[in-house]
Amino acid sequence: MRGEKRGRVRIGISGWRYPSWRGDFYPPGLVQRRELSYVGERMTTAEVNGSFYSLQRPESYCRWRSEVPASFVFAVKGSRYVTHMLRLRGVETALANFFASGVLALGDQLGPVLWQLPEREAFDRDVLEEFLAVLPRTMSAALALAERHDERLDGRAWLQIDEDRPIRHALEPRSETFGTPDAVAVLRRTGTALVVADTAGRWPRFDEVTADHVYVRLHGATDLYASGYTEAELATWAKRIRGWADGSDAPDGRPRDVWVYFDNDARGHAPHDAVALAARVAASYGG
């Protein structure tokens, strides 16, 4: 039934360590090691971006978790070795290494795992279905996969979980071929969110709801990674977010959890826009 309940909305930033934010979003004199804590006091979520470029270490995930409130949740960006180099093919060992690298140390503070595809990667039904079938959908499945890591993770793998719980996944393709009904159907069958990405027109924007959650990445409306969002643009996004969260903007009327990340970080707009959008959404619910 529409409007019966409301999904959880989390709004944050894509990464948090940007020198240009110092003295702007981060107040003058704030030491670098306190930056994530500062974010945690003002937002409810952030994307871990370093995991896209290289395997992080368990101690990093443990440290990040310790620096924010227990209610703060991290989305983790999947390895580009999986998405850009292997191109989703033959990825089991690479995925095992990724999940063994410390991702599971986030425990109940692990949010969705984001898989961003390169523009050249067109939709191939067989490739996508095989990739999505390998992705672990629970912490216990991720642990079982992580235990199959190769020698590169010997002595530095995190192979424990505190509790079994679901793991959500989101896919951010940059080829218009993923907008076809066939591609959408594959994602919907597996409960994988098709990312809603605002990219200043650089790449296609997909608006299909394909999972029990909606994942939004705001890279800039007019200047990729650089432009800030106007009040009118934030108001439009707040309306859309509320529609997803209460189910009125979903084809089946079911409420969705909504995850929103600002990636317009080049000129420091991302954290300010995230705080402003979160305030708008909260105000729309009367609190």
pLDDT per position as a tens digit, 192-237: 999 999 999 999 999 999 999 999 999 999 999 999 999 999 999 9
Pick from 280, 199, 210, 206: nearest CA to 239: 280
Distance CA 127, CA 121 (A): 11
Tell me if 167 sits within 8 A of 138, measured CB to CB.
Answer: yes
Q: Specify the pLDDT at position 285.
A: 77
Q: Specify the pLDDT at position 4.
A: 55
Domains of the chain: 9-284 (3.20.20.410)
Q: Specify the pLDDT at position 1.
A: 36
Q: Specify the pLDDT at position 277.
A: 98
Residue ranges in the chain whose pLDDT is less than 70: 1-4, 286-287
**What's the pTM value of the predicted model, to 2 decimals?**
0.96
